[in-house]
Structure 1
Amino acid sequence: MDQLILNDLPPLLDMKTNSPKSSLDSLIQLLYALVILLLGLMAYLFFGQIRSHKSVADNTDSSAVFIQLDSNFTHVWTAPSDWRMMYLPAGQKELVLYGRELIAHTSDYLGPKGSVRAMSNGMNCQNCHLKAGSQPWGNNYFAVESTYPKFRARSGTIENQIKRVNDCFERSLNGMKLDSTSKEMQAILAYIAWLGKDVAKDIRPKGSGIFKLKFLKRATDPEKGKLVYDAKCQSCHQSNGEGVFAEGGKSYTYPPLWGMHSYNEGAGLFRISNLAGYVKYNMPFGTTYEKAQLTDEEAWDVAAYINSMPRPGKDLSKDWPDISGKPFDHPFGPYVDSFPESQHKYGPYKPISDWIKKHKKSKS
């Protein structure tokens, strides 16, 4: 039995020879065998991993493994970095920075208790144009410099940047026009030009303005919107929509969404489609386009609720001299179509939008 075991041992342990050459050959054979074993183990692990991945893929919905990014939210345009201001002439840099300050803290300078002039309702431009007009899909100014001057159907005229700024003062801030020659207007224009400095003429880069949500199949519902408001909005904007004053009472930390100190009926956000897109990717506080908190349905309904509440009026008699240019959700008649005013305000919007597209094609 002992002899049989010895005969089965590898040559390295063969007790019948002690020659150096025989020992070296045996060592080489053992090392060779170890290499083969190691390669075999590596092959086993490699192909086993492939089979494991295949098993997961076979038993799992592929959409859960590979998430397709929404192309609307990739490669979104951003504002120029502040360090680039070092290349501006000193006077121009000062003007740009003052313009940004005016957008962020408008009421401190131009509100009811403003240090320069009392000419607006106490809201800041930044309350509607987030991060001083630089937040993607936050009603930003990225495309203003590249697309103005341009024809606007609302006024029926070619408008420049000054007209656009003063529209905001008269509508969203429910105030008065800003003198076009004032330092404040020149500063705001310089800042807007700075934000759009890298945008080619007539281009609207991805992330400009407000995201356009898909239509609901039904009308928007203010009653459902109130439930969303109570759960998600009132902690900042308060139960009566009056907002919260900043310390000193010169401006708002959280702006009023309705009432006498909010935007008036001529403001762009009084269109429910604009407010819904704005809310979807910016509200509640802390939301961005990268991490929305509300569903599309909730955004539409809460926008309908907010815009169903009382707010300052405005003489709109000179708006839309060609009424065929009115958008589908302009809430005041007359219209060229036969849809009622209530549907233009609350929807459903698709039938109106389809009618407008069809008749535009027939005219052309």
Structure 2
Amino acid sequence: MMKNLSISIILLLLNTGTAFAAGADGFQGTWVKPAESTIPPVGDPTGDMIRKGRLVLTDTYNQLGGGSNYMPPISGNRLSCSSCHLEAGTSALAIPWSVVALKYANPGPYSSRSHDYRTQEVRVNDCMQRSMNGVPLPETSYEMQSIKAYWAWLATGMKVAKYQDVKGTGTLSVPDMTRAADPVRGAAIYKNKCEACHQADGEGVWDADANRHVYPAIFGPNSFNDGAGIYRLRTAVGFIYGNMPFGHADASMATAVPPDTTSLLSQEDSWDVMAYVISQPRPLWKNRLVDWGNLKGPDGVPDWMNKSVDAGYPNYYPRANYATNYCAPPDLNSPAVYSPDKHKYGPWADMIALQKSIITSYKAALCP
């Protein structure tokens, strides 16, 4: 009974925005969370959708997953969307949803990974299938429309003329290391600084009474699959360096000069501990071989040429055959130039240089 009470108190604290992660000034005045009083009252269709959208995003398992009425579930693991988008998507430098309604307005930005323009619906379902390891949420569903209503409400907090000028919308920018990230060293860091919350098996702490995580699964069967953006080391490190350990790290302090690292993982520790996390078992993205294919994007080059160098799952590019024919599609029977571990853990400087060279050569060859 006492254990369940303690877990309930922790959940209450987490859901009332008492986390220290990603300091409140991270938006630098360019966005301010709208006042709750601006949400229309209960019974108003718009207000009800805003509240429902926030609930779907912060209690995803019970709204769309195994605890919901959806059979089969839409969300395939036990995470909530807010497991990564902290404080219901309102925390600077923690992948906030502050202006996603504007960024992903139709037609949205092009994604070479999934070969399409990313509207809000596409963005949601990319996460549903990758981070949540599930299936697409119907675009006309009440839940989808409610997510969009919540995002539209958040966008009213913008204090600048263009959404591109809002600060703190991603994660901290952390320079690449010149060595490969070390999952062995990272294992010791994980044990000392992460295991208390995320547990030795990576499954986090689950509150059986509330049917939700207190601390989320970051590896194991109930975590994100390897097609998720957070599986890529160069994406994940900026998030954990600025926001972990949860309740202690403060991304606004990490950007100070000199940085205040008293409660943060160091940058080197962040690289290595995340290398350990992505080295552990997790679900596999079912369409991994389709990502970054041979279709051309709006930049005029095949999507595979833009594959993130740290995407640690096949197919791996470039292939050796490309060195003799700039216009040839990648021959998957030809060996990959770089090993899977180099893609996954780096270092990436030579890979990035070759990627740029390939794109330049392709354009210069005027390939059809």
Residues in 2 aligned to 1:269 and 1:350: alpha-carbon distance in whole angstroms:
20
Kept in 2, the 8 Å contact 1:142–1:204? The answer is no
| Cα deviation code 1:137-177 (max 9, x no counterpart) | 11112342222212110111212110110111111111121
Q: How many residues align?
A: 293
The answer on 1:317 being equivalent to 2:289 is yes
Kept in 2, the 8 Å contact 1:129–1:139? The answer is yes
TM-score, normalised via structure 2 length: 0.74
Residues in 2 aligned to 1:133 and 1:352: alpha-carbon distance in whole angstroms:
33
Residues in 2 aligned to 1:156 and 1:74: alpha-carbon distance in whole angstroms:
31
**What pairs up with 1:135-154 in 2 under 5 angstroms?**
135-148=91-104, 149-154=108-113
**What pairs up with 1:30-109 in 2 under 5 angstroms?**
75=28, 77-83=30-36, 85-86=38-39, 90-109=44-63
Residues in 1 aligned to 2:112 and 2:291: alpha-carbon distance in whole angstroms:
8
- Letter of the structure 1 residue corresponding to residue 58 of structure 2: A
The answer on 1:300 being equivalent to 2:283 is no
Kept in 2, the 8 Å contact 1:329–1:347? The answer is yes
Kept in 1, the 8 Å contact 2:198–2:217? The answer is yes
**What pairs up with 1:177-326 in 2 under 5 angstroms?**
177-197=136-156, 198=158, 200=161, 203=164, 205-248=166-209, 250-286=211-247, 287-291=249-253, 293-315=264-286, 316-321=288-293, 322-326=303-307
Corresponding residue SS for 2:252 = coil
* Shift in alpha-carbon separation, 1:152–1:74, aligned structure 2, 3 A: closer
Offset at 1:331? Answer: 1.2
Residues in 2 aligned to 1:157 and 1:119: alpha-carbon distance in whole angstroms:
21
Q: Any unmatched runs of 5+ in structure 2?
A: 1-24, 255-263, 294-302, 320-336
* Shift in alpha-carbon separation, 1:309–1:86, aligned structure 2, 3 A: closer
The answer on 1:355 being equivalent to 2:336 is no
* Shift in alpha-carbon separation, 1:223–1:147, aligned structure 2, 3 A: same
Q: Any unmatched runs of 5+ in structure 1?
A: 1-71
- Structure with greater proportional helix content: 1
- Letter of the structure 2 residue corresponding to residue 340 of structure 1: S
RMSD (CA atoms): 2.3
Corresponding residue SS for 1:190 = helix
Offset at 1:122? Answer: 1.6
* Shift in alpha-carbon separation, 1:297–1:80, aligned structure 2, 3 A: same
Corresponding residue SS for 1:307 = helix
- Letter of the structure 2 residue corresponding to residue 328 of structure 1: V
1:330 to 311, 317, 335: 311
Residues in 2 aligned to 1:86 and 1:208: alpha-carbon distance in whole angstroms:
23
TM-score, normalised via structure 1 length: 0.75
The answer on 1:159 being equivalent to 2:159 is no
Corresponding residue SS for 2:214 = strand
Percent of residue pairs bearing the same amino acid type: 34
Higher RCO structure (Cα 8 Å, ≥6 apart) = 2
